[in-house]
């Protein structure tokens, strides 16, 4: 029509073709059989950006590197008197040390804690979203969400963005009707329930110390010492972990923050047995 | 890394899976159960990419249960296997294919026992015995050598133990224990776990 041509109006389809890359225009997954009546889920992804491709390009060695290093050690273990959660506090961006004083534990509610390792932004965002969902659950159902359900919510969020470059390694710890609960959740949707987990690039060092010193009938003080040692020894060997040990104890009536101790002081204290 | 095995007898199916949940070089769990109960007489054993396994297996599990709720009777093992394969095939050329390898074992009251082998490319084969994982390279020949269609339950368990011993002897990775289950006309039964010390 004449008016169309004169006004320079571009149809939506034309504009879309200019913004989105050719070929992949519809970001909705659909299988070709009946969907049992559920609305097809769509997830928001920035227009015109391929997240995993973008991240790959930033990880090259030349120029600015946004290397998403898993620069952390976090650990958690169950024992007779609850769950101990201990994390380090270092944030690294490639070879640069961004901060030595980051809080890697998110206090979801007085009965739920989440730890963070991997990409700081991803962990902070998704665990805060989990906190919102847990609060909504409590308001809708009039009872607190179980640890199993909270961890399932987080792992389903991770599965929704499968293959798009999220980097999250988290432990959800809490105390619910079934007693103390500990779940490991990560960005490829793995969700494991267990007695002890450690995440981050220092995890192997933490496993070594905690596995050899663990007893189910430890006293509370012994458990605190084991948690501190796990993080301290891991930060000693792993360059990307360090700062302070933030330790929490999950008890039947909620969590308490136990301590915040500098790892270099801890290592000096343990020095006699080490060298 | 992960290992699944199934052996079909004249009126039963014996299945076993290792118990390790690993992440790179770390064993995160030593008592992980890789079997999913689809119905009273059907088990789905699932290994593969982290996250995909549980998500896909639970999706199939819930859909099989939904079928029973809607229609009043259960899917047969053959129907469940074909349903699973169809789902794998549909997702194969989508943006998010599921990288999972499966064994489906079941007992049908009319057709008897059945063992179905499926892989991540959505191939499906009904077989008298099958295995998944690197361990299969070591144990399929043992099954070829000693399998007979008229195995008794005890002989099948012995054959399974032979395979586990071979893995313990020659497989470079440590698989200390295996969950073992038996399906027959009575349903699914847990048998004693196979645990092997280092040799």
Whether B5 and B149 have beta carbons less than 8 Å apart is answered as no
Cross-chain residue pair B32–A163, CB shorter than 8 Å: no
Output the pLDDT for position A64. 45
Cross-chain residue pair B50–A163, CB shorter than 8 Å: no
Task: Identify whether A72 is a catalytic site residue.
Answer: yes
Output the pLDDT for position A84. 96
Among residues A162, A243, A152, A164, which one has the least CA distance to residue A200?
Answer: A243
What is the average per-residue pLDDT within A10-27?
58
Cross-chain residue pair B95–A204, CB shorter than 8 Å: no
Superfamily, domain A74-273? Aminohydrolase, N-terminal nucleophile (Ntn) domain (3.60.20.10)
Smallest CA–CA distance from B70 into chain A, residue: A36
Name beta bridge partners: A257. Answer: A248
The 3-class secondary structure across chain A, one letter per residue, is CHHHHHHCCCCHHHHHHHHCCCCCCCCCCCCCCCCCCCCCCCCCCCCCCCHHHHHHHHCCCCCCCCCCCCCCCEEEEEECCEEEEEECCCEEECCEEEECCCCCEEEEECCEEEECCECHHHHHHHHHHHHHHHHHHHHHHCCCCCHHHHHHHHHHHHHHCCCCCCCEEEEEEEEECCEEEEEEEECCCCEEECCEEEECCCHHHHHHHHHHHCCCCCCHHHHHHHHHHHHHHHHHHCCCCCCEEEEEEEECCEEEEEEEEEHHHHHHHHHHHHC
Residues of chain B in contact with residue A155, where contact means CB-CB under 8 angstroms, are: 51
Q: Measured between CB atoms, which of B28, B54, B90 is closest to A32? A: B90
What is the average per-residue pLDDT within A67-74?
71
Predicted confidence band of residue A17 (pLDDT cuts 50, 70, 90)? low
**Mutation for testing the A interface, residue in B22, B23, B27 having most A CBs under 10 Å:** B23
Q: Taking the CB of residue A270, how many other CB atoms lie within 10 A of it?
A: 16
Name beta bridge partners: A263. Answer: none
Catalytic member of A25, A31, A40, A72: A72
Q: What is the mean pLDDT of chain A?
A: 83
ipTM of the complex: 0.86
Taking only the tens place, the pLDDT of each residue in A134-165 is 999 999 999 999 999 999 999 999 998 888 88
Angstrom distance (rounded) from CA A87 to CA A64: 28
Output the pLDDT for position A21. 56
* Lowest-confidence pick of A29-43, A255-269, B125-139: A29-43
Output the pLDDT for position A65. 45
Q: Where are the domains of chain B?
A: 3-195
Name beta bridge partners: A250. Answer: A83, A255
* Residue A257 clears pLDDT 90, i.e. is over it: yes
| B26 inside 8 A of chain A by CB | yes
Taking only the tens place, the pLDDT of each residue in A51-70 is 666 666 665 554 444 555 45
Whether B188 and B181 have beta carbons less than 8 Å apart is answered as yes
Burial status of residue A58 (CB atoms within 10 A of its CB: 0-12, 13-18, 19 or more) = middle
Whether A222 and A238 have beta carbons less than 8 Å apart is answered as no
Cross-chain residue pair A188–B49, CB shorter than 8 Å: yes
Which residues of chain B form beta strands (DSSP E)?
4-8, 13-18, 21-23, 26-29, 35-39, 42-48, 100-108, 112-118, 124-126, 129-132, 177-184, 187-190, 194-195
Residues 47-66 of B with CB under 8 A from A: 49-52, 54-55, 63, 66
Q: Measured between CB atoms, which of B50, B63, B95 is closest to A29? A: B95
Predicted confidence band of residue A99 (pLDDT cuts 50, 70, 90)? confident
Smallest CA–CA distance from A195 into chain B, residue: B29
Give the HSE-up count for residue A239: Cα atoms under 13 Å, Cβ half-sphere.
Answer: 6
Question: How many contacts (CB atoms, under 8 Å) link A and B?
Answer: 52
| B28 inside 8 A of chain A by CB | yes
Mean pLDDT for each 10-residue chunk of chain B (199 residues)? 96 97 92 96 96 96 96 96 96 92 97 97 97 95 95 97 94 95 97 82
Predicted confidence band of residue A95 (pLDDT cuts 50, 70, 90)? confident
Cross-chain residue pair A31–B90, CB shorter than 8 Å: yes
Top CATH class of B3-195 equals alpha beta
* Lowest-confidence pick of A44-48, A91-95, B183-187: A44-48
Residues of chain A in contact with residue B63, where contact means CB-CB under 8 angstroms, are: 36
Q: Measured between CB atoms, which of B32, B50, B94 is closest to A189? A: B50
- Virtual torsion, Cα B134, B140, B143, B144, nearest 10 deg: -170
CA distance B120 to chain A (A): 17
Tokens of A72: 């952390």
Cross-chain residue pair A194–B28, CB shorter than 8 Å: yes
Angstrom distance (rounded) from CA A111 to CA A83: 11
Tokens of A217: 């009938």
Smallest CA–CA distance from B63 into chain A, residue: A36
* Residue A206 clears pLDDT 80, i.e. is over it: yes
Output the pLDDT for position B153. 97
Cross-chain residue pair B96–A191, CB shorter than 8 Å: no
Residues of chain B in contact with residue A158, where contact means CB-CB under 8 angstroms, are: 51
Smallest CA–CA distance from B52 into chain A, residue: A189
Tokens of B85: 């394969």
């Amino acid at each position: 029509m004449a008016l169309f041509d004169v006004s320079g109006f571009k149809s939506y389809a034309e504009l879309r073709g200019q913004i989105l890359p050719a070929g992949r225009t519809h970001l909705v997954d659909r299988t070709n059989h009946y969907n049992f009546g559920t609305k097809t889920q769509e997830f928001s992804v920035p227009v015109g950006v391929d997240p995993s491709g973008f991240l790959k390009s930033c990880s090259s060695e030349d120029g600015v590197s946004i290397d998403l290093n898993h620069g952390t050690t976090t650990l958690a273990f169950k024992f007779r008197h609850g769950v101990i959660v201990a994390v380090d506090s270092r944030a690294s961006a490639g070879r640069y040390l961004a901060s030595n004083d980051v809080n890697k534990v998110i206090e979801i509610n007085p009965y739920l804690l989440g730890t963070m390792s991997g990409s700081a932004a991803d962990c902070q965002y998704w665990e805060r979203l989990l906190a919102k969902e847990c609060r909504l659950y409590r308001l809708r159902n009039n009872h607190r969400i179980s640890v199993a359900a909270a961890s399932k919510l987080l792992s389903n969020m991770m599965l929704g963005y499968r293959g798009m470059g999220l980097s999250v390694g988290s432990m959800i710890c809490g105390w619910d009707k079934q007693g103390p609960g500990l779940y490991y959740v990560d960005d490829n949707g793995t969700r494991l329930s267990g007695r002890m987990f450690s995440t981050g690039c220092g995890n192997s060092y933490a496993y070594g110390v905690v596995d050899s010193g663990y007893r189910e009938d430890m006293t509370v003080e012994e458990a605190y010492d084991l948690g501190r040692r796990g993080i301290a020894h891991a930060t000693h060997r792993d360059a990307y972990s360090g700062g302070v040990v933030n330790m929490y104890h999950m008890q039947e009536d909620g969590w308490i923050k136990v301590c915040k101790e500098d790892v270099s002081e801890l290592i000096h204290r343990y020095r006699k047995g080490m060298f | 890394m992960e290992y699944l095995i199934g052996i079909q007898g004249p009126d039963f199916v014996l299945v076993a899976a290792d118990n390790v949940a690993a992440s790179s070089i770390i064993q995160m769990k030593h008592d992980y159960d890789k079997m999913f109960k689809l119905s009273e007489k059907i088990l789905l054993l699932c290994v593969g990419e982290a996250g995909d396994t549980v998500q896909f297996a639970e999706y199939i599990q819930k859909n099989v249960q939904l079928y029973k709720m809607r229609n009043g009777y259960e899917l047969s093992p053959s129907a469940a296997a074909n349903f699973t394969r169809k789902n794998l095939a549909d997702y194969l050329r989508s943006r998010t294919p599921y990288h999972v390898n499966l064994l489906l074992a079941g007992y049908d009251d009319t057709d008897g026992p059945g063992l179905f082998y499926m892989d991540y490319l959505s191939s499906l084969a009904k077989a008298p015995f099958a295995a998944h994982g690197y361990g299969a390279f070591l144990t399929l020949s043992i099954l070829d050598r000693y399998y007979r269609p008229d195995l008794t339950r005890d002989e099948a368990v012995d054959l399974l133990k032979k395979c586990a011993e071979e893995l313990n002897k020659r497989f470079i990775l440590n698989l200390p224990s295996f969950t073992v289950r038996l399906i027959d006309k009575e349903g699914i039964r847990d048998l004693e776990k196979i645990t092997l010390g280092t040799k």
